[in-house]
Amino acid sequence: MIVFCVIVLLFPVCGSVPLAGWVQSPGHPRGYDPYSNLTWKKCAPTGHKITLTLLHLDLEESFECEDDALKVFADKVLLFTLCGRKSVKELQASVNPFLQSLPGGCLTVSFLADYSNTERHTGFRGFYTIQDVDECMDPENECTQLCNNYIGGYRCFCRPNYILDNDNHTCKVSCSEDHTNSKEGVLMSPDWPRPYPENSVCSYTLAVEEGLQFELTFLDVFDLEKKENGECIDSLTIKPLNGKAETFCKRDIPSSLLTRSQRVEIIFRTDHKGTNRGFRLSYKTRGMKCTGPVTTKSSMIPQESEYPTGSKVTVKCDKGHVLKSLESAEDKYEATCQKNGQWSPLIPCEPVDCSIPDLSEFMDLSEDDPPTTYLNKISFKCTNEYYQLTKNGTFTCNAEGNWESESGQKFTEDMPKCEPVCGMNKDTSSGGRIFGGRPAEIGQIPWQLLHRISPRGGASLISDYWAITAAHVVDGYETTTMSWLGGMIDGKSQNPVTMETEKIIIHPNYQKVGRGSPSNYNHDIALIKMSKRVPLGRNIRPVCLPKKTDEPKGDATISGFGRFLEEKNSRYLLYGPVQIYPLNKCDSVGLPVTNNMICAGGDEVDSCQGDSGGPLFSPVLGYGSPDNPYRITGIVSWGPRGCGNKSYKGFYTKVQNYLDWIKETMEKN
């Protein structure tokens, strides 16, 4: 049978490619002519290689064989470039041993002569043969045990008691065993107690009737190959029908294992080498029992280490967990130990989910898609640079499914908000005047508003909906929609931010006289609510309200579009520094002065007609910072006739006295 196979395999070799032959230069041995050339190529069949032996070499000698040359290639790789004369002995020693192809490869010979020779050269001659390759001598043939070479190929085979795997290279043992309905016995690795064979995958199946489980006890030495870091090379895996599979290869395994399963598969795997002894273990059955917990994040009543089949327990979810699969809001149920060692019903306790709360405008989560279940935290941020959180924005999901602040309040009770950043402007230098004052730059006093038509006056933005002004400016216009302009420094600007009023609320203690100058300026303050949110930006931003504890004193700044000459309103926003004086230092010109007023003035700097309702703010313009923002101290209210008179000062509504009214009014409206 073996001889027959060899003859069959020789036919295609003999029929398609000569097994041997000659290759020589044109005219050999008489000599080659100028411009002679030759290209010769032969390829070996599969499982064979082609070998060339040069027996004669006589070519013109030249530097790097640039005149006449013989080149030999193996599978397109240049092996040699030859010229000059070499004896057979020299060729055998340094050239011929290397003139061979890879298995199934090709040899190519290229000869080229130039236009002339100083003497006649006989050329070259070689003998080629096609030979069978002994694949069994190749260490990479992947036969794990024995190898049989034949002409054109090779075959792997195995020692006795081994079988050849489907890959036709790997030898392995047939070691799988079925122990179904066997209640006790012994399992061991192949060839125990001798070293176990390589390339083994043994599967031992244990199975009995429901209500029983297997107990495994390891006997003698447990010795499987492993790496120095403890990683398994060979392994023993115990895989119960229910439960988690465990894999072993260390020597310090437990002596006994209770599988809690009526069916167990034991899988023994080895690699291609090693001299370890393996394992031996006994198995037996015992009655099935259940263990706890029934499900994670729960407790059991009563609490025992094991429960016989038929036992009933009450399963109660841990704090912050609920039975999501039940329609009711129950957090406990009854479970029974089954014959297979499992609890039924098995309802998981899942963490309470607070979900993402509804967020106000300009507010977003600090993280994308954060977990929202029990004890997880979320925090918030403002998405607009002109807004900031009013309080700490971190909340924790509590056991009741509510987001809880650090102070213990619910999200709905202690919800942070994105409020406008107040009292900030662009970086500027200080100085300037109103009456005869200095023009403001765009964004320098971004809270300044203007009512351009009669009554001409100013106001200060204090939020993205509310502005504050003098009561006498809006007295009589409470039911009228007024248009206020902001985000500009030119009173004739064609592109201001236009705001329409929704409500005008005058302080209840202000003595209304209706569209005219009152005889009493006490409580000269009013709030304006805009019909829609003011689009805050670099050029229109609110000013901060004063603190209750900060008594007005020192230097401040006033601003407005009022008169800068005796008879002419300013087209541009002007500002200037003033000093705040005690009320007893200011001449009231016969009008009543109250503690609800501030007196302020400066050297040729004063507010004037048309500035009414505008701000008196501090610190002095140019000295504000995030730690010391600009705050509206007063509202331009009244003063003596003749703006800029050094003998008189102007009077401003003291905003500090109205903080509670402002807060209450804004919250109610």
Q: Which residues are catalytic?
A: 472, 524, 612
Sheet with 106-112, strands from edge to edge, namely 37-43, 106-112, 69-74, 77-82
β-strand partners of 150: 153
Q: Which residue stretches of 521-565 are H helix?
A: none
Sequence-separated (6 or more) residues with CB below 8 Å from residue 568 = none
Whole-angstrom CA distances from 98 to 59, 72, 427, 598 are 20, 10, 83, 109
Pairwise CA distance, residues 175 & 268, whole Å? 9
Q: Is the CB of residue 335 less than 8 Å from the CB of residue 313?
A: yes
DSSP 358: P
- Please give the distance of CA 156 from its chain centroid, rounded to a whole number: 51
Q: Is the CB of residue 367 less than 8 Å from the CB of residue 354?
A: no
Q: Is the CB of residue 634 less than 8 Å from the CB of residue 613?
A: no
Pairwise CA distance, residues 287 & 338, whole Å? 12
Pairwise CA distance, residues 669 & 658, whole Å? 16
Question: According to the 3-state scheme, what is the secondary structure of 101-160?
Answer: CCCCCEEEEEEECCCCCCCCCCEEEEEEEEEECCHHHCCCCCCCCEEEEECCEEEEECCC
Phi, psi (rounded to 5 degrees) for 179: -115, 35
Pairwise CA distance, residues 490 & 610, whole Å? 15
Dihedral sign, Cα of residue 537, residue 543, residue 547, residue 552: positive
Phi, psi (rounded to 5 degrees) for 630: -75, 130
Residue 607: closest CA among 485, 473, 433, 489: 433
β-strand partners of 617: 557, 632
Pairwise CA distance, residues 428 & 622, whole Å? 5
**Token pair belonging to 559:** 């601003």
Sequence-separated (6 or more) residues with CB below 8 Å from residue 583 = 593, 595, 597, 599
Pairwise CA distance, residues 543 & 552, whole Å? 16
Pairwise CA distance, residues 116 & 349, whole Å? 97
Residue 299: closest CA among 256, 270, 331: 331
Pairwise CA distance, residues 577 & 557, whole Å? 4
